């Protein structure tokens, strides 16, 4: 890298090395491009460094701690004499997981001969980006550009995030010490997962939700199971709380999960004539093309659902499109997972949504309490809910509640995308005993012929 304000012509320039950006960079490199990847922070982005991965690591460690304290080990004949919690060590282990994955991403970047530039980039015009970083200022004139700058916590007017009393979810995951009590504001999966982590670690948690219901778009029956799980952890839930009132209601530190907004403000998109959507996301078509030819955008910066799964796929699409392929981002369904106790996962339509969409709906239900595998896991709180078209048995949606629901949902995602029917799901074999059998029994129940529960008359 050259010091000073020099212009370098590059083939593909990717702004942002999160799941959308680094995946786009790798796919573009696989397709024979010379790729320059610009990142102001760490490779791996929010998901790997400050979001999903650290959160899931803490969910996992806090769950083990919690389980050791519960009655189940005793029933199984395990007596825990003494149990201590070391938050600093837990943080270290979490950071170890993050570091290992980040190192993996770095190796993939260099292994694909991608030029990694540490710095912050913005547009000068529709062909050039200026990057300011440790090596000074630099101009890049690109043939193709992929914007993958992600999103950041949406600000709440009058409530600046100070990292002490008012925290973003990212800040909460790196708290130096565990507080005795915490308030969490939000109704999305992040709020629920944070509440779960801290409650498991004996923090007194109160959850404030803006509306009446938590987790919009999830099946109400499944939500009841999740809410019961939250209460069992001692989490108090207050509904219909206006966000601006939150600090007047509680004196404890508040974590606010108020959604994210696309990180586009510092990109100077107007200098490149890149159009934005109403919520400041970069406007793109299904081929991830922005309003400017040869400029693409993927992931959270376009302002859709902030999900790494979406960003990863969009990154591949953008790289393939700029390589001349005709592909698009058009998944039929997007699976969503919430790592509470019990775990919740859903894909496709809920019963209500399917009916609203005009389908003649048939549903199947199978409780975990009737599953042999669930009982051997001492986890009988949960169910499978299967939604199908009554006319032809076409699978329209599924909600799973219980251990590994987020892993099991993959099978149902494939089934919906392939256009599988209840008959398809009933014909194949499932390992026995296994949690995946709840999919079988749920599908059979929808056809009135589940074996392990009594079919309603």
- Annotated active-site residue 34? The verdict is no
**Based on CB atoms, which residue is closest to other proteins, 318 or 370?**
318
CA distances for 405 relative to 76, 175, 311, 338, 379, angstroms: 24, 29, 22, 9, 12
Cα–Cα distance for residue pair 373/299, rounded to 1 Å: 37
The CB-of-30 to other proteins minimum distance in angstroms stands at 17
Give 357's DSSP letter: T
Pairing of strands 344-348, 336-338: antiparallel
In sequence order, the 6+-apart residues with CB closer than 8 A to the CB of 449 are 455
Kindly identify the residues of this chain, within the stretch 250-279, that bind other proteins according to CB under 8 A: 277
The CB-of-417 to other proteins minimum distance in angstroms stands at 5
Q: Which stretch binds other proteins (CB under 8 A): 58-66, 94-102, 222-230, 316-324?
A: 316-324
**Based on CB atoms, which residue is closest to other proteins, 110 or 286?**
286
Helices (H), 278-421: 308-322, 351-356, 372-376, 405-418
E strand map for 134-240: 136-147, 151-153, 166-167, 181-185, 204-208, 236-238
The CB-of-317 to other proteins minimum distance in angstroms stands at 11
Q: Residue 222 burial by CB count (10 A; 0-12/13-18/19+): exposed, middle or buried? A: buried
Binds other proteins by CB under 8 A, chosen from 32, 157, 293, 457: 293
Q: Which stretch binds other proteins (CB under 8 A): 43-51, 59-67, 343-351, 441-449?
A: 343-351
The CB-of-306 to other proteins minimum distance in angstroms stands at 11
Binds other proteins by CB under 8 A, chosen from 159, 201, 334, 355: 334
DSSP letters spanning 335-377: -EEE-SSS-EEEEE--HHHHHHTT--EEEEEEEGGG-HHHHHT
Q: Which stretch binds other proteins (CB under 8 A): 42-50, 351-359, 372-380, 429-437?
A: 351-359
Binding characters for other proteins, 211-230, by CB under 8 A (x = yes): ------x-------------
Cα–Cα distance for residue pair 181/122, rounded to 1 Å: 41
Longest dimension (CA), the chain: 79
Binds other proteins by CB under 8 A, chosen from 24, 284, 337, 368: 284
Looking at 33, 139, 432, 452, which residue is catalytic? 432
Kindly identify the residues of this chain, within the stretch 360-419, that bind other proteins according to CB under 8 A: 392, 394, 396-397, 416-419
Binds other proteins by CB under 8 A, chosen from 31, 154, 236, 327: 327
**Based on CB atoms, which residue is closest to other proteins, 102 or 311?**
311
The CB-of-294 to other proteins minimum distance in angstroms stands at 6
Contact 13, 129 (CB under 8 A): yes
Q: Does 287 bind other proteins (CB under 8 A)?
A: yes
DSSP letters spanning 32-43: T--EEEEESS-T
Cβ atoms within 10 Å of 223's Cβ, excluding its own? 18
Q: Does 127 bind other proteins (CB under 8 A)?
A: no
Q: Residue 367 burial by CB count (10 A; 0-12/13-18/19+): exposed, middle or buried? A: buried
Which residues are designated catalytic? 432
Chain positions contacting other proteins, by CB under 8 A: 217, 277, 281, 284-287, 289, 291, 293-294, 302-305, 310, 314, 321-322, 324-334, 336, 347-350, 353-354, 357-358, 392, 394, 396-397, 416-419
């Amino acid at each position: 890298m050259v010091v000073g304000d020099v212009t370098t012509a590059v083939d593909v320039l990717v702004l942002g090395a999160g799941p959308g950006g680094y995946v786009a960079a790798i796919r573009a490199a696989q397709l024979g491009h010379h790729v320059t990847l610009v990142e102001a922070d760490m490779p791996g982005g929010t998901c790997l460094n400050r979001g999903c991965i650290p959160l899931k690591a803490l969910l996992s460690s806090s769950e083990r701690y919690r389980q050791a304290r519960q009655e189940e080990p005793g029933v199984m004949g395990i007596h825990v004499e003494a149990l201590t919690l070391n938050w600093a060590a837990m943080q270290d282990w979490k950071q170890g997981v993050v570091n290992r994955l980040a190192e993996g991403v770095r190796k993939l970047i260099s292994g694909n001969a991608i030029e990694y530039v540490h710095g912050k980039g913005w547009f000068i015009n529709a062909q050039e980006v200026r990057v300011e970083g440790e090596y000074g200022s630099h101009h890049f004139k690109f043939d193709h550009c992929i914007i993958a700058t992600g999103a950041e916590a949406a600000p709440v007017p009058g409530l600046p995030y100070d990292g002490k009393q008012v925290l973003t979810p990212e800040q909460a995951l790196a708290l130096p010490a565990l507080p005795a009590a915490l308030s969490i504001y939000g109704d999305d999966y992040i709020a629920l997962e944070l509440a779960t982590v801290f409650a498991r670690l004996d923090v007194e948690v109160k959850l404030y939700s803006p509306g009446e219901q938590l987790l919009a778009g999830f099946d109400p029956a499944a939500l009841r199971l999740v809410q019961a799980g939250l209460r069992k952890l001692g989490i108090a839930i207050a509904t219909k709380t206006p966000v601006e009132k939150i600090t007047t209601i509680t004196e404890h530190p508040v974590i606010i999960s108020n959604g994210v907004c696309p990180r586009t403000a510092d990109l100077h998109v107007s200098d490149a004539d890149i159009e934005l959507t109403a919520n400041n996301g970069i406007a793109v078509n299904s081929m991830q093309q922005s309003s400017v030819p040869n400029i693409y955008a993927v992931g959270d910066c376009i302002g859709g659902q902030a999900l790494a799964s979406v960003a990863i796929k969009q990154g591949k699409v953008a790289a393939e499109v700029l390589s001349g392929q005709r592909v698009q981002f058009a998944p039929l369904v997007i699976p969503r997972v919430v790592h509470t106790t019990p775990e919740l996962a859903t894909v496709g339509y809920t019963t209500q949504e399917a009916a609203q969409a005009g389908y003649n709906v048939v549903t199947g239900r199978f409780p975990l309490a009737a599953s042999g595998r669930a009982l051997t896991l001492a986890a009988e709180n949960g169910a499978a809910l299967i939604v199908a078209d009554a006319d032809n048995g076409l699978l329209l949606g599924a909600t799973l509640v219980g251990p590994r629901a987020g892993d099991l949902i993959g099978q149902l995602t494939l089934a919906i995308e392939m256009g599988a029917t209840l008959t398809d799901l009933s014909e194949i074999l499932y390992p026995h005993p296994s949690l995946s059998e709840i999919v079988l029994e749920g599908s059979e129940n929808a056809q009135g012929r589940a074996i392990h529960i009594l079919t309603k008359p």
